[in-house]
């Protein structure tokens, strides 16, 4: 692991819909954050789904905070339209993210949180992990605190 250290007030783990929505909400409250994503694009689960997939809920009930689906999209957007929407959402909110950051450990410290990826130590006052908990086979450790 390199000695690279990055600091941010808030770290959000995962650039899927939940992580992107959390980042937008934090920014709306003037809380700068960085999103750490292990894949090279946002919405990786949507990118990997089969091509004929469509949302099972209508777009009016599926939009993320502060940004509606385009009016030109059908009621039930396709997989590709969801991927395009997530990319547009990221651009619209100017969400800062670092790709290729596979989390291997997250630990509470006296100053906040230390999150280690395969090549960087990230430090923050707060940690948000809105995605599904990592599987035990990934080797990642996740800690949480109520403080």
- DSSP for the chain reads ----EEE-SEEEE--SHHHHHHHHHHHHTT--EEEEESSSSSSHHHHHS-TT-B-SS-GGGTPBTTBPPPTTS-SS-BHHHHHHHHHHHHHHTT--EEES--EEEEEE-SSSEEEEESS-EEEESEEE--SPPPPGGG---------
- pLDDT category, 145, cuts 50, 70, 90? very low
Mean pLDDT of 57-73: 97
pLDDT tens for 87-96 read 999 999 999 9
**pLDDT recorded at residue 34:** 96
- pLDDT category, 59, cuts 50, 70, 90? very high
Mean pLDDT of 55-82: 97
- Tell me the domains of the chain and their CATH numbers: 9-103 (3.50.50.60)
pLDDT tens for 4-53 read 788 899 999 999 999 999 999 999 999 999 999 999 999 999 998 999 99
Mean pLDDT of 81-108: 97
């Amino acid at each position: 692991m390199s000695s690279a250290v990055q600091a941010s007030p808030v770290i959000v783990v995962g650039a899927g819909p939940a992580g992107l929505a959390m980042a937008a909400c934090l920014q709306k409250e003037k809380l700068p954050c960085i999103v750490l994503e292990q894949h090279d694009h946002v919405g990786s689960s949507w990118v990997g789904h089969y091509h004929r997939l469509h949302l099972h809920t209508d777009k009016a009930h599926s939009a993320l905070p502060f940004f509606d689906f385009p009016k030109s999209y059908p009621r039930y957007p396709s997989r590709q339209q969801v991927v395009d929407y997530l990319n547009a959402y990221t651009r619209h909110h100017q969400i800062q993210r670092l790709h290729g950051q596979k989390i291997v450990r997250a630990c509470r410290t006296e100053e906040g949180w230390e999150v280690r990826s395969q090549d960087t130590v990230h430090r923050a006052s707060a940690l948000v992990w809105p995605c599904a908990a990592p599987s035990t086979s990934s080797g990642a450790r996740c800690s949480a605190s109520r403080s």
